[in-house]
Amino acid sequence: MRRRILLCIETTRFFASLRMTERGKDNLMHILVTGGAGFIGSHTIDLLLQKGHRVRVLDNLMPPVHRDQHLPAYIPRDVEFIHGDVRDHAAWERALENIDAVFHLAAYQDYLTDLSKFFHINTVGTALLYEIIVTQKLPVKKIVVASSQSVYGEGKYECAEHGVQYPPLRAEEQLKRREWDVRCPLCARKMKMLITDEARVNPHNQYAMSKYTQEMLALNFGKRYAIPTVALRYSITQGPRQSFRNAYSGILRIFTTRLLFDRAPIAYEDGAQLRDYVSVHDVARANVLVFEDARANYKVYNVGGGRAVTVNDYAQLLARIIGKNIAPQQPGHFRFGDTRHIVSDISNLRALGWEPRVALEDIAREYVEWARAQPDVRDYYEQAEREMLMSGTLRVSVKPPRN
């Protein structure tokens, strides 16, 4: 009798386990990741695969981010790949076949003046995604859209006399005089930077405007057609797999390659700009979190590092990690359209249970270790600087005379 009871218990446990496994399978999805061969996309794919999802990638392997038309070695072999452009209707149709959810991370990022390209890729490409889902009645259950901290422009400030302000773009004449500080638009006093929440946007450059129009149409089309959608405004995202050849990829890549080849990091303006930097591992976790959490539907969230750091301090941190006694230089160049300070308020994402786990020092150490191991590492800065000066993206200030 005891043996029969034990056998019955084991049989019950087996079928209960089987039912749990089947329920788990029911929750697994076939997911499309646009831009999946890139930096943030590839790390997001790693997490999705760990959770058992099937993944398809749509990517055009656009230079200069990608060196050739080959899929990077860090993309697992069991990921289905479609070589295509988000501006191409036919590519979207192929990519969306039998798809349950989409991480739309493909984007055009640069400082160049091919203004329309930003909107063709970032905005129109996103409109095509929703157009095809709606017109073909595709059963897509969730879309996560990558936006950017850049939509805030100068972000949120406080004037001692006039309170909270959202200042406009700093005038070129001011920057040419090396007057870097943001001043109150009402009284011209120097203002105090505040951390910026999601409530108000003020995009200044072509990339920022294209990202805001992208998230605006995604969230509104999502609501209108009952396609749960979330937009994430990433702060400066950094870590391994960040292309050496992308001028937009930020100071970690630029300063690291300069220092590895015994050259001084070049800080724009005076290097005192405040930024917040977030690990790509934390960004990937945020992507998956809002994908899984229905509380995030139809909302926008900041994803940041939770710590303000000056450009000069970051350069000095990297020099210590790399072991080079080389200080950053500030020749007075500036990128017209850049913000002076911007640090994101991440309270709303924290309320969903997310927290940045990777410290700035660890972000830097991991990237330096990865960069040293890459066969194509070199200093691309001088070439990028020439191109930006020729296009007018990077401009030269006039050093004021001494009194």
Q: Any idea what the Cα angle at residue 287 is, between residues 340 and 355, rounded to 5°? A: 70
Q: What is the pLDDT of residue 11?
A: 40
Report whether the peptide linkage leading into residue 64 is cis, meaning its omega lies within 30 degrees of zero. Answer: yes
SS3 319: helix
Q: Report the helix count and the strand count for the chain, using DSSP H and E.
A: 13, 16
> Is it true that domain 2-396 has CATH number 3.40.50.720?
yes
Q: What is the pLDDT of residue 26?
A: 56
Distance CA 242, CA 35 (A): 13
Domain ranges of the chain: 2-396
Shortest CA distance to 80 belongs to which of 94, 66, 68?
Answer: 94
Distance CA 90, CA 84 (A): 9
Q: What is the pLDDT of residue 298?
A: 98
Q: What is the dihedral of CA 24, 27, 33, 37, to 10 degrees?
A: 0
Separation of first and last alpha carbons in the chain: 103
Q: What is the pLDDT along the chain (403 residues), one digit of tens a residue?
A: 434 433 443 443 343 333 333 334 558 999 999 999 999 999 999 999 999 999 999 999 986 666 676 788 899 999 999 999 999 999 999 999 999 999 999 999 876 778 999 999 999 999 999 999 999 999 999 999 999 999 999 999 999 999 999 999 999 999 999 999 999 999 999 999 999 999 999 999 899 999 999 999 999 999 999 999 999 999 999 999 988 766 656 789 999 999 999 999 999 999 999 999 999 999 999 999 999 999 999 999 999 999 999 999 999 999 999 999 999 999 999 998 899 999 999 999 999 999 999 999 999 999 999 999 998 888 888 888 888 888 888 999 987 666 5
What letter represents residue 203's amino acid? Answer: P
Q: What is the pLDDT of residue 223?
A: 98
| Site of tokens 């695969």 | 49
DSSP label at residue 87: T
Q: Any idea what the Cα angle at residue 143 is, between residues 152 and 26, rounded to 5°? A: 145
SS3 238: strand
What letter represents residue 361's amino acid? Answer: E
